[in-house]
Structures are given as structure tokens and as C-alpha cells.
Amino acid sequence: MSKDKAKLSLWMVMVGLTLLVAPAAFAQDGGGGYGSLGPIGAGLAVIGGAMGIGRIGSSAVEAIARQPEMANQISTAMLITAAMIEVGFLFAVVIGFMAL
């Protein structure tokens, strides 16, 4: 991944987390209209998760192309890592929609 893509991914994750937390941060002022930021943060979390899973998939395919005899171990590691990322961004989506 290039430095520009890595910076963009990090920026999207930071903005997404900020938007997920913003409704809770402003909850004491009578709901000042920040409830709509949760779904935006959830959307950014989904984009970041999709980028992560895509990166894992492309790296696994490259690794299998280089060492075909390790395909089973690489596939297993790829699936476990993708599942962990998916749980993380699904949690972010649930939290984002709970902010409504």
C-alpha cells in the first residue's frame, strides 16, 4: 500500500471514530442535532473495513502465487484475520446506528 493510501485510510478511520463518538460527547446539551453523525461514522468504518479485507485478500493471493505449497496455511490465516476485521467494523456499524 502506498503512503498516500495509508494516510487516506488512517484519516478515514480517525474521522469515522470521531463521528461515532460525537453523539455521546454532545449528549448532555439536549441532543443538539449530532445524532445523524453516527451513520456517517458507521459508513466510514465499513469503507475502512472493506479496504482492509481487500488488502488482506490481495496479499494472500500474492503469497500463494509465490509459495503454492503454503496455500492452506495462508488461506487459514487470511480468513481468521478477515473475520477479526469484519467483527470490528460490524461493531462500529452497530454503535453508529445506536447513536440515532
Element (H, E) at 90: helix 71-98
**Which domains, and CATH codes, for the chain?**
9-18+36-98 (1.20.20.10)
Residue 95's contacts (CB-CB under 8 Å, 6 or more residues apart) are 20, 38, 42
| Mean pLDDT in residue range 40-57 | 83
What was the pLDDT predicted at 71?
A: 94
Q: What is the pLDDT of residue 77?
A: 92
pLDDT over threshold 90, residue 68: yes
Question: pLDDT confidence of 41, banded at 50, 70, 90?
Answer: confident
Report pLDDT for 35: 59
